[in-house]
Homo-oligomer: A and B are copies of this chain.
Amino acid sequence: MTKIKQNQDVSDAIVAWQEAIGEPAVLNASTNTADFCTFASESAALARLRPIDIDGVRRCLQIASEHGVAVYPISTGRNWGYGSAVPTQAAVVLDLSRLNQITDYDETLGTVSVQPGVSQQQLYDFLQQHGGRFWMDATGSSPACSVLGNTLERGFGHSPYSDHAGQLIRMEVLLADGRLIETGLGHFHTAKAADNYAAGLGPGLSQLFLQSNFGVVTGITINLMPTPDYFQAVYFSIDQPAEIAPLIDVLQPLRLKGVIRSALHIGNAHRVLSSIQQYPWAATGGVTPLPEPVLQAFGRQWDFGAWNGSGALYGTRRQVAEARRSIKTALRSQVKKLRFMDDETLALAKRFQKPYRWVTGINLPEMLKLIEPVHNMMKGKPTDRIIASTYWRKKMAIPQDMDPDRDRCGLIWCAHVAPTKGHFAKEMTDISSEVLSRHGFEPGMTLTMINERCLDNVVSICYDRDVPGEDQRALACYAELTQKLIAAGYFPYRLGTHAMHLLQQYGGQEYLALLGQLKHLFDPHQIIAPGRYSASDQ
């Protein structure tokens, strides 16, 4: 079925779309190749539609139905490492980035309504301009990436509001047949609490549209975190990879009891290094993967360990002091370094980098490149620093206007979950390390405590798409890694467009049949993103 669609003639549909939403809003496929992605993809973007409002989106869907052409909705298309803006199967991309309004804001209760095109930076700026009473939760992805898109993918950030889908209140969804549905209490058009009470009355429908192809989400309302009185970041590291198990076991009750209320990210040495700089071609004489002694030398120079944690405390000064006391008590004997840093300490560190090193032992000039954006990200300020690491294996310098797709940066994310217990963390990361190393990639990864009870091992397969054969090797590595992690009981929380078959391959048969029935109910002609988190491509 995919192959037939790949060669589908969509010219009649394109004429109809041009008439409906205007010529400039319809781009042909040549500007949107399948290869415009951080890994090789077989499916093609047959064209690109850029409507400016919900009515335009509805007309796009209607024409898609009439002509039997599938559309693939994207928000801003920066789903880097998971397929960027490339469809799961051949389709016309339905680009919603021009729907970019912040449509509502409650500055007392801290809720905001955004359309698909609203970027992290746009929301951040908006909140700053409105007095900074609330913070958004930023992800490590680009400042230009969509708040809505990340939420629909169940992305997570760094603050106590890190579970983006968990902070979702209401959705506005366009169905394939043109109906516009509001979830939660939203369909009661006069409900005062529509932006405050997510559950609604009767069966809840919002979750149906997360990681889904059941409809086109044209707007969401989300909660914002009230700006705390005080903020303090915490950093710690351990020397030996195997110490990750006891470290997780010590951190687990802190997260469970709410001493640490935010997602805690623990990156390994490879991940830290790739966040500071590109691959050290000179120091390695061009050899890949990175030799262990070179990594260790960087670790000594910049004072990072085998695993390096970052998190933050939020509250009044006394609340933060009390949390800090608990963390110190728990971690003191477990970690090599344990440091707390607030805005003042950071400002001071920037002014006095040398004496700071003398006092603390940190080689700050380089580490600040990473610490400052991470510090700000934990305060809800998006950064492009993390996405810079997609240039890790590139031999070009990192450009000012980063675009991993255009610059053929190779990146495949692989993110699997486990209960927050040390031996699972150890087993999961051991599998990831072994598989990546054997395939010739640096096993850069983080462990994130995404909620009070669950760990996410986010592994980056990072490479240079301009090196012949690397695309295939990276995809083969991903295939083996997911197979091994799943065999050990660690399932993905999210899939790239190339990996949607994993749901079908491992899911319960009766469950998948039900997903298929639901898809048929919402979109009987398979117009919306066929194959995306879908039980089958029928």
Contacts and interface: CB of A to CB of B under 8 A. Distances in A.
Interface string A300-315: 0000000000000001
Contacts of A490: 192-193
A197 B507 contact: no
A211 to B, nearest CB: 5
A418 interface: yes
Contacts of A508: 181-182, 187-189
A111 B452 CA distance: 11
A513 B205 CA distance: 13
Nearest to A487: B190
Contacts of A453: 109-111, 196-197, 223
Interface stretch (A51-59, A139-147, A251-259, A270-278): A251-259
Nearest to A229: B257
A427 to B, nearest CB: 9
Interface in A191-217: 191-193, 195-197, 199, 201-212, 214
A193 B290 CA distance: 32
Contacts of A211: 201-204
A503 B165 CA distance: 26
A434 interface: no
A440 interface: no
Contact of A316 (B202, B208, B322): B322
Interface string A31-75: 000000000000000000000000000000000000000000000
Which of the four size classes fits the interface of chain A?
Answer: 35 or more
Interface stretch (A1-9, A93-101, A231-239, A491-499): A491-499
Contacts of A514: 175, 179, 181, 205
Give the most central of A181, A192, A226: most B CB within 10 Å: A192
A63 to B, nearest CB: 21
A179 B256 contact: no
A389 interface: no
A318 interface: yes
Contacts of A256: 109-110, 226
A32 to B, nearest CB: 26
Contacts of A494: 201
A388 interface: no
Interface of A: 106, 108-111, 154, 160, 165, 175, 179-182, 185, 187-193, 195-197, 199, 201-212, 214, 223, 226, 228, 252-253, 256-258, 261, 315-316, 318-319, 322-323, 325-326, 417-421, 424, 450-454, 486, 489-495, 503, 506-508, 510-515, 517-518, 521, 533-534
18 contacts: A109-B452, A154-B199, A179-B510, A181-B511, A182-B511, A188-B491, A192-B424, A193-B454, A193-B490, A196-B417, A201-B494, A201-B533, A203-B518, A205-B208, A208-B208, A258-B261, A322-B322, A518-B521
Given A190-B486, A196-B419, A203-B533, 17 more contacts: A109-B256, A165-B199, A175-B514, A179-B514, A187-B510, A188-B486, A188-B506, A193-B490, A196-B451, A196-B453, A197-B417, A197-B451, A199-B207, A203-B211, A204-B207, A207-B207, A318-B322
